[in-house]
Structure 1
Amino acid sequence: MPDRRDTSWVPSRVEDAPLVSGNGRFLDDVDPLPGTLTAAVVRSTQPHARIRSVDLSRARAHPGVAAVIGPDEVLAALRPFPLSTGAPMHYFPTGTDKVRFVGEPVAVVVASDRYTAEDAAELVTIDYEPLDVVIGARAALAEDAPLLHEAAGSNVATDRTFSFGGVDEAFAAAAHVVEGEYDFPRYSSVPMECYSVIADWRADGVEAWANFHGPFTMVPVMAGALGIPTSALRLHVPADIGGSFGIKAGIYPYVVLMALASKHSGTPVRWTEDRVEHLLASSSGADRAMRFAAAVDTDGTITALRADLVDNVGAYLRPPEPSTLYRCFGNITGPYRIPAVEIRARAVVTNEMPTGLNRGFGGQQLYFGLERLMDAVADVTGLDVLEVRRRNLVAGFPHETATGGVYDSGDYAAALDLAVANADMDELRARQEAARADGAFYGIGVALVVDPSGTNIGYVGLATPAEDRKPGRDKSGSTEHVRISVDVQGVVTVMLGSVPQGQGHATVARQVAAQRLGLPVDKVRVVVDMDTSTTPWTVTSGSYSSRFAPLVTSAVVQAADRIATTIRAAASTMLDAAPGDLELVDGTVRAPDGTSVQFRHAAGVVHWDPTSLPEGTSARLYEEAAFTPRETRAATQDDRINSSLCYGFVAEIVAVRVDPATLEISIDRVSSVHDAGTVLNQQLLDGQVHGALVHALGGAMYEEFTYAPSGQPTSGTFLDYLCPTSAEIGYDLRTDHVVSPSPLTPLGAKGCGEGSSMSFPVAFANAVADALAPHGVEITSLPLHGEVLHHLLTTQPEEKTAWR
């Protein structure tokens, strides 16, 4: 056994030991309430149909069944979920008047066990009136498209146009107008553990457990649907939630649904989603159809940008959508100096699974179009793809974009140069030349992206015109709360409200608190499981949009520094020195003359002898801090907004080889350089970069939720929905970092969890386009694999459905 006085034995990630030893605390390991029954969900087999009737009688009569609820019970007890826009598209946790996608819940059976519940679920009879379906963003815009929500009169859930600067003038004066239409696929990030809920409806409110990572903007959404105050909804989230990467923000309808099932059964109810249900009906990232146009001078300088973005949000515009449209509003010009911008942003509904957050949401879609367009600009101007980017890069910081984003720091040119050097471009060009001489395909792609972190939730307000925003109802901010306490033995406890999903929040929070308090890390413990009645959180809390590094750690710093002030004051009574002269180091409080006392002894003074403290010193070692940066304000009346607090940068170069016989694409080399500000933990940052690359690889080559023209899903199992494994990660990966500390956070840190999920898909697409360039093939969509390449090489480009 290691010497426990030697802290070098402490693992670099405190989260790992329980997980690798089978001692994780997942929701399926938790049995908090006696008498809990089990639920099964009856789901629609129809993509679009009117519900004529639902017969629950046979299911209710089945032995072992405690309750069965359907649309009537939902309409009687629940309100529609509050939406981010005023669109008349009511969303309940089940279909009520209609079903709008295959897999939509219609009824819930509560029984003694899962087997009984599923047997009884098969006895529910639903009479449907099938309706015409609409699949895909462009099809939803057609004038004769079937309507999902008749009250809305359209499948367009939100439609806004923005203009900043002299866009028309720039296009009129441009030497070149470069245009492109692109499609980004609908895919997700499949977690190890699917959705899971335990709910208990009581006379005084609802208590629920869920593997729900937030954001906690969903707590008032749930309370609104239940018709109860937020104080009457108590939500627990276990320390381990089996992965999410955004999609478990979409679990909230099931929390509400199981609460209602609990009300009718009179018992707590447990429901765990199986893999088929998850792939069918949980959540996915939004697929996007987009059109970009750039006004370009003779030297390759871009003077204006037009973007027409259409997100397919599936059957319902459910919260937090339309976040995907607006999350990157402030950085919509990417890393480029583009002074004039026009944006049309629309979200449409279709007979597909509803969408939500997915790692890199908004950025994945945006940069696929923008960085494909940059390659097109290079082609039109005759410039190298690297050179056209260099000529347009932001150079001075802070830099304010046309849409209101304020890039806090960076050195984009240095990061690009480092990525090029690490890629060994001369060698890659030589490989490409040799491959083409042999009749093979070899391509090199580049992508440069601004990586936003510390989201300002005020961007959601952009979906509503300024004149329609209610006075005093603005939303803004990136607040995160942290609490820190010190016990009588000097052990520090840090309580977070960020609800991690595997990123290592406890490891970094412990490290930061220990550094600020001059303690060994084993004297700091971190609590990450969430209980909304006791854990510090705000509406903005949650592990989404790379919030932890810039926001949560900043709150840790503030709270720890307040604790340090009290410890110094207590130690000053023992050392006969001014508190301001004392230093916290190595578990002690040290005076200028070299004398010192143990940190725990100073803490003991506060606990045991508070009357000896200096006048004005509070006898408490419990501090709460709310880091609320003033830079993340609400949208202005002219619709400009700094949509994130911090902006990192990624330069990525990808080289691919295509087998001329099989058209199999293999990745030869990836050079990825990130600037995430101050690096708080190199191991965790590297892990985030590597993980984001794998997630991006899924969307670039393998993963896609697809539907037949009939509306039936065609990717409902892992036979059809393919995920990358370790076997697909055998390429030459070269990662590196440039450090440009943010002036807006105490530690200079920015987020780093999403960058490559935004940059890799389009860098990969640019590489494949470069490989196929001699054959005149244009790449406008993902995923790319042998079947797609065969189609591109052997058929004429298909005409896209006309836009309105």
Structure 2
Amino acid sequence: MTGDEPGREKFVGQGLARLEDPALLTGRGRFLDDLDPLPGTLVAAVVRSPHPHAYIRSVDLERARAYPGVAAVIGPDEVLEALKPFPLSLRAPMPYYPTGTDKVRFVGEPVAVVVATDRYTAEDAAELVRVDYELLPAVVDTAKALEPGAPLLHDTAESNVASDRTFTFGEVDDAFAAAARVVTGEYSFPRYSSTPMECYSVIAEWRDEADGPRVTAYSNFHGPFSMVPVLSGALGIGPAQLRLIVPEDNGGSFGIKAGIYPYIALMALASRHAGRPVRWTEDRNEHLLASSAGSDRLMRFSAAIDADGMVQALDVDFTENVGAYLRPPEPATLYRCFGNITGAYRIDAVRLRSRAVVTNKTPTGLNRGFGGQQLYFGLERVMDKIARTTGTDPVELRRRNLVRTGSFPYATPTGGIYDSGDYERAVEMLLESTGYAQLRAEQAEARARGELVGSGVALVVEPSATNIGYVGLATPAEDRPPGRDKSGSTEHVRVTVDPFGVVSVLLGTVPQGQGHATVARQVVADQLGLPLEQVVPKVDMDTDSTPWTVTSGSYSSRFSPLLTSAIVEATDRISASIKVAASVLLQAEPHELELADGLVRVAAEPDRSVKFRHAAGVVHWDPGSLPDGVDASLYAEAAFTPPEAKAPSRTDQVNSSLCYGFVAELVQVRIDPETYEISIEKVTGVHDAGTVLNPLLIEGQVHGAIVHGLGGALYEEMAYTESGQPTSTFMDYLVPTSAEAMFPLVGNRIVTPSPVTRLGAKGSGEGSSMSFPVAVANAVEDALSEHDVEISRLPLHGNVIHDLLTTSR
């Protein structure tokens, strides 16, 4: 046995405090700006475009180069000479470099880099760079970018459409022809960002060695590591020539730091010209202006429904604004939720058109819940519209259409395989927890008194452990070369035991504050029957020594289902080796032994035991005593590669994630009739993340996801003027604080263990970021039901409510 014997309390499932917190709370965190890993490091400042769209006629760098203390200045000529365009996720004639070369295409796009002895000198010299721009018309509106005659961002392309694909699954036309009703809604989801506490940071060194160039880069990059071949491709070197190091502490990311790789390439080139390592730390204005953001999306949902309100088919149109470039891994946001596009509902026929459109905005990338919050805003809004059209309670309408409890594993028409769930029970728990019938009656009475109160519900399937194969859907099946398919949800881990029996577990997941070290220690201690203090987790990343693959990284809720499964596989091997060593000391067969309480003991005779560390000592100190043919090794590296994660089929179906959790959420709101300020009165949620590994950490993840959703629902929007000028400071880009998140939150949990992961765990860090924005929109529309308004866009605030009510009159 391995720590799961009867009567022993397991660490997995306990709400243990985070191992990571003491250092952070006492100011001993090790963030990149705290570190000085390379001697003689210089400092860089980036010269950025003030224009959204312009030809670069010339760049004068000479005055900056002559400035005292400046070591190097590079611009478009140096970039074009040394770097290649970043490899894209699909074939598109829209080359992307880390600076503008022929043109600038968004405000804040890098044009030049100044390297000097310190940041002040670099910034002073950067003001001496002179760029001659020929201004061009800009386009930031998605629909306008599609119009004939719209400003063309990339002269090598025929239009601003970077990708356009249509998929049909099932008998869509027949379903619409036979429908009792067709309900259609058009929706707009805003562009907003993650605003982590720590912005981008890079230290890069380019060294020309005898066998070729070698680039070492320290960065707060969080993955996905599929960007490593993209980065090395731009640098013109192999991945083995690129060493990427990530410190153990990362001040948040939520997806956005996957987009740091252009700056790694840029600083590596700056180092090559300076002849020394180069450090660059992004300031807050740069981050808001030019780092990355979640994509804004225009959507149209048409639903064919029968006389009972059952949805028979969906016809969906997504138009994604990806900004100035199709920055890898985009158009990932369009396809990340491909397998769960029908959500929690039994819908057998789907038609989907997905377009990625370039505009003069900052390029997009990953942002917590990416793809999910956009999808569910449209899907759950149209479900509310169906309920209103048919005169059905919105919860009852959803219950009729839910995937039934006994249907799992459930196959969606687009290829998703929902591994486990009990959606009906989760909704019942939500209704019980909220006292739904009484709540609706009380709200009706309040509205009769003229009060603007309402509630909104959202039911979402939460994907986790992304199968990167979904990105291939952006390329038609006939253009995907046979034998070059991409797929996978692989995660690696390395477990070792030292001569004193201390177990080290080396993770490649690059956490950004989620508590990976804490949970990894719990899992290892359980699997090997050890006290927590005998397990040492390590989370800093070095691609030269940490196990990783292109799918590694902290994104798409991968840790709980994938990394813990890899830990179980690695510790199984360690356990087998320890039992062999202990069998020598105990004169027993390895299969007769179990690991518990820091001991290796004979299962039938618990008093016959040796300490775990003594068994480990045999392997280290007396390997000659081991049976013939037994390796003297206490080292195990495991790669958990679930077979369910396949490449897209030739018919364009894909199981786009390994696991699918569930969130049922109800939000109660009140709107001030004079100021139209929206107040969240209460949030109630029921979450299914499979096996609960640490309830304290899950609770924190749910709270964090709700606050992210709150930002997108009521506050955050990266707004642009028609001329292309963006919001760029916290004076005009609002984010929720603790004061805005003080509403009561009631959380409940249902557990349906996943059959495809070793511990039954699924992800749980993104669900409410997907459900909360649309639940708020549904609640606001409910509160305004007497005024016959329809909520079709976010964020919602007093001005929006005023405009809606004015228009309705």
Q: Same fold by TM (over 0.5)?
A: yes
Who is 2:391 aligned against?
Answer: 382
Whether 2:662 is the aligned partner of 1:652: answer no
Cα-to-partner distance string for 1:686-708 (whole Å, 9 max, x where unaligned): 11111100111011000110000
- Alpha-carbon distance in structure 2 between the residues aligned to 1:191 and 1:12: 22
Partner of 1:603: 616
Q: What SS does the aligned partner of 1:152 have?
A: coil
1:226 matched to 2:238: no
The DSSP-based 3-state class of the residue aligned with 2:413 is coil
Q: Which amino acid is 2:495 matched to?
A: I
Q: Secondary structure at the match of 2:383?
A: helix
Residues 1:154 and 2:166 are matched in the alignment: no
1:227-273 Cα deviation digits (max 9, x unpaired): 00000000000001110000000000000000000000111000000
Aligned residues of 1:305 and 1:338 also touching (Cα < 8 A): yes
Shift of 1:796: 5.9
Distance 1:563 1:720 in 2: 55
1:614 to partner: Cα distance: 2.4
Secondary structure of 1:202's match?
Answer: strand
Q: Equivalent of 2:697, from 677, 681, 684?
A: 684
What residue number does 1:563 align with?
A: 574
Among residues 457, 468, 478, which one is paired with 1:457 in the alignment? 468
Structure 1 counterpart of 2:75, which letter?
Answer: G
Q: Which residue of 2 aligns with 1:480?
A: 491
CA distance in 1, matches of 2:16, 2:573: 28
Structure 1 counterpart of 2:22, from 10, 17, 24: 17
Instruction: Choose which of 286, 292, 309 in structure 1 pairs with 2:301.
Output: 292
2:495 and 2:636 in contact (8 A); partners too: yes
User: 1:434: how far off?
Assistant: 3.3
- Name the CA shift for 1:88/1:796 in 2 (closer, same or farther; >3 Å): farther
Asked if 1 retains the 8 angstrom alpha-carbon contact of 2:686 and 2:749, the reply is yes
Alignment correspondent of 1:624: 637
Deviations 1:648-707 (A, max 9, x none): 000000010001011010011111110000000000111111110011101100011000
Matched, 1:448 2:459: yes
Aligned residue in 1 for 2:256: 247
Find the counterpart in structure 1 of residue 6 from structure 2: none
1:65 paired to 2:78: no
2:341 to 332, 352, 363: 332
In structure 2, C-alpha distance between the alignment counterparts of 1:50 and 1:618, rounded to whole Å: 64
The letter of the residue matching 1:211 is N
Secondary structure in 2 aligned to 1:386? helix
Equivalents in 2 of 1:134, 1:423: separation in Å?
Answer: 46
Among 769, 786, 790, the alignment partner of 1:778 is 790
8 Å CA contact retained: 2:46, 2:112: yes
Q: In 2 relative to 1, CA 11–291 (structure 1 residues): closer, same or farther, beyond 3 Å?
A: closer
Q: State the partner residue of 1:77.
A: 82
TM-score when scaled to structure 2?
0.97
Residue identity in the other structure for 1:640 = Q
Instruction: Report what 2:7 is aligned to.
Output: none
> Distance between the aligned counterparts of 1:392 and 1:45, measured in 2?
51
The question of 1:548 aligning with 2:559 is answered yes
Q: How does 1:83-102 map to 2 (within 5 A)?
A: 83-102=88-107
Residue in structure 2 matched with residue 313 of structure 1 by the alignment:
322
The equivalent residue for 2:113 is 108
Contact 2:15/2:694 (<8 A) preserved: no
CA deviation string 1:691-733 (max 9, x = no partner): 10011101100011000011011x2111111111111112121
Distance 2:599 2:28 in 1: 34
Two-structure CA RMSD over aligned residues (Å): 1.4
Match of 1:754 in 2: 766
Q: Distance in 1 between matches of 2:588 and 2:386?
A: 67
**CA pair 662-230 structure 1, distance change in 2 beyond 3 A:** same
CA positional deviation for 1:633: 0.4
CA contact (8 A) 1:428 1:655 kept: no
Q: Does 1:745 align with 2:750?
A: no
Task: Report the Cα distance in structure 1 between the residues aligned to 2:351 and 2:15, rounded to whole angstroms.
Answer: 53
1:403 aligns to 2:414 (yes or no): yes
Residues 459, 10 of structure 1: alpha-carbon distance in 2 compared, 3 angstrom cutoff:
closer
- Counterpart of 2:292, as a letter, is S
Q: Does 1:493 align with 2:498?
A: no
Residue 674 of structure 2 is aligned to residue 661 of structure 1: yes
Q: Helix, strand or coil for the counterpart of 2:653?
A: coil
Q: Deviations over 1:487-545 (max 9, x none)?
A: 00000000010000000000001100000000001100111000000000000000100
Q: How many Å separate the matches in 1 of 2:651 and 2:600?
A: 53
Within the candidate set 473, 481, 484, 1:470 is matched to 481
Contact 2:788 2:808 in 1 (8 A): no
Q: Residue 432 of structure 1 aligns with which residue?
A: 443
1:671 to 676, 684, 687: 684
Asked if 1:515 corresponds to 2:526, the answer is yes
Q: Please state whether the residue corresponding to 1:617 is helix, strand or coil.
A: coil
Q: Which residue of 2 aligns with 1:43?
A: 48
Q: Aligned partners of 2:755 and 2:31: how far apart in 1?
A: 38
TM-score of the two chains, using structure 1 as the length reference: 0.97
Distance 2:721 2:175 in 1: 43
* CA distance in 2: counterparts of 1:193 and 1:427, whole angstroms: 45
Which residue identity does 2:410 align to in structure 1? H
State the match for 2:780 in structure 1: 768
Structure 2 unpaired stretches of 5+: 1-9
| Equivalent residues of 2:331, 2:356 under 8 A apart | yes
Q: Counterparts of 1:482 and 1:33 in 2: how far apart (Å)?
A: 28
Aligned partner of 2:360 in structure 1 is 351
| 1:10 CA drift (Å) | 12
CA distance in 2, matches of 1:625, 1:139: 50
> CA offsets per residue over residues 421-458 of structure 1, 9 Å max, x none?
11222342244123212212111100000000010000
CA deviation map 1:351-403 (0-9, x unaligned): 00100000000000000000000001111222110111011101110000000
CA contact (8 A) 2:452 2:673 kept: yes
2:735 is the alignment partner of 1:723: yes
Question: Tell me, which stretches of 5 or more residues in structure 1 are unaligned?
Answer: 1-6, 798-804
Match of 2:430 in 1: 419
Alignment check: 8 A CA contact 1:420 1:653 kept: no
What does residue 391 of structure 1 align with?
A: 400
Moved more, 605-614 or 122-131: 605-614
Letter of the aligned partner of 1:152 in structure 2?
A
Q: Distance in 2 between matches of 1:290 and 1:726?
A: 32
Counterpart Cα distance in 1 of 2:700 and 2:437: 29
User: 2:291 matched to which residue of 1?
Assistant: 282
Amino acid paired to 2:30? R
* TM-superposition CA deviations, 1:197-254 (whole Å, max 9, x none): 0000001310000000000000000000000000000000000111000000000000
Distance change in 2, residues 1:655/1:295 (3 Å):
same
State the partner residue of 1:122: 127
Offset at 1:143? 1.4
Contact 2:15 2:696 in 1 (8 A): no
Deviations 1:574-632 (A, max 9, x none): 11111111110000011121211000000000111112112332110000000000000
Q: What letter corresponds to residue 640 of structure 2 in structure 1? A: F
- In the aligned structure 2, how far is the partner of 1:96 from the partner of 1:173? 54
Q: What number of residue pairs does the alignment pair up?
A: 791
The answer to whether residue 799 in structure 2 is matched with residue 787 in structure 1 is yes
2:703 maps to 1:703? no
- Inter-partner Cα distance in structure 2 for 1:105 and 1:793: 43
Distance in 1 of aligned mates of 2:152 and 2:136:
10
1:35 is paired with a residue whose SS is coil
